[in-house]
Chains A and B, each alone.
Chain A
Amino acid sequence: KNEVEQSPQNLTAQEGEFITINCSYSVGISALHWLQQHPGGGIVSLFMLSSGKKKHGRLIATINIQEKHSSLHITASHPRDSAVYICAAQYNTDKLIFGTGTRLQVFP
């Protein structure tokens, strides 16, 4: 069983739709990361959260420490948002344990 689980694994949406990706982790962490990986492999850090909520443009990330759960929301989705979104848990030594990723495709 992966320590970090994401759902859904695959997600398709029409341009403009509101998108939610969920992440659950099994043990206490120091922070939770949301990452974006495009075809070709490059990884971009979107958010690092230890509590509450963060917003950047059309992206919003929330975390509930008690429930060990985080969500990534994309408002007004666009085809350029198509990518793999990865949730990763950071532990005390700062290493990241990655979730299995959610492959998002947004169609015009």
Chain B
Amino acid sequence: AAGVIQSPRHLIKEKRETATLKCYPIPRHDTVYWYQQGPGQDPQFLISFYEKMQSDKGSIPDRFSAQQFSDYHSELNMSSLELGDSALYFCASSSRGATQYFGPGTRLLVL
């Protein structure tokens, strides 16, 4: 069965650079969630989209933005990267209110 796809799987950037993470939800899932998991920390909710509209916002820095496109894939744009942005970024998808299925994550390292 198709799962959530994230790309890239690994990313190395330098401070002040920008990064774009992509998430392709399971077919027919209308909701996408982004989570950030720092080293040794719990995942933290960043932002979610339902039917291409932002549905909730968590602890997402102003330097980050995200959107969901007409094909339901989502992109997380991160600018002016800081060392503290190094983390594992998970995307999850669901049909509204149902079980969330997680992607494999994108591991971002900011040097």
**Does B70 sit at the interface, judged by CB under 8 A?**
no
- Residue in chain B with minimal CB distance to A46: B99
Q: Are B100 and A41 in contact (CB under 8 A)?
A: no
Q: Are B99 and A45 in contact (CB under 8 A)?
A: yes
Chain A 75-108 against B: per-residue CB contact (8 Å), 1 yes, 0 no? 0000000000010000001111111110000000
**Does B97 sit at the interface, judged by CB under 8 A?**
yes
Q: Are B102 and A99 in contact (CB under 8 A)?
A: no
Given contacts A42-B104, A95-B45, A97-B45, A30 and B97 within 8 Å (CB-CB): yes
**Does B42 sit at the interface, judged by CB under 8 A?**
yes
Q: What is the bound-complex CA distance between A33 and B97, given in angstroms?
A: 12
Stretch of B12-20, B29-37, B61-69, B73-81 contacting A (4+ beta carbons < 8 Å): B29-37
- Residue in chain A with minimal CB distance to B50: A94
Q: Are A48 and B99 in contact (CB under 8 A)?
A: yes
**Does B48 sit at the interface, judged by CB under 8 A?**
yes
Q: Which residues of B contact A45 (CB under 8 A)?
A: 99-102
- Residue in chain A with minimal CB distance to B58: A95
With both chains docked as a complex, state the minimum distance between the C-beta of B96 and any C-beta of chain A, in angstroms: 7
**Does B25 sit at the interface, judged by CB under 8 A?**
no
Q: Which residues of B contact A33 (CB under 8 A)?
A: 99-100
Q: Are A44 and B99 in contact (CB under 8 A)?
A: no
Contacts A/B (CB < 8 Å), 26 sampled = A2-B42, A33-B99, A33-B100, A41-B104, A41-B107, A42-B102, A44-B102, A45-B99, A48-B99, A86-B42, A94-B48, A94-B56, A94-B96, A94-B97, A95-B33, A95-B45, A95-B48, A95-B58, A96-B35, A96-B43, A96-B92, A97-B45, A98-B44, A99-B42, A100-B42, A101-B42
Known interface pairs A95-B33, A96-B45, A96-B92; 10 further A-B residue pairs with C-beta atoms within 8 A, sorted by A's residue number: A30-B97, A41-B37, A41-B107, A42-B104, A42-B105, A43-B43, A86-B43, A93-B55, A98-B42, A100-B42
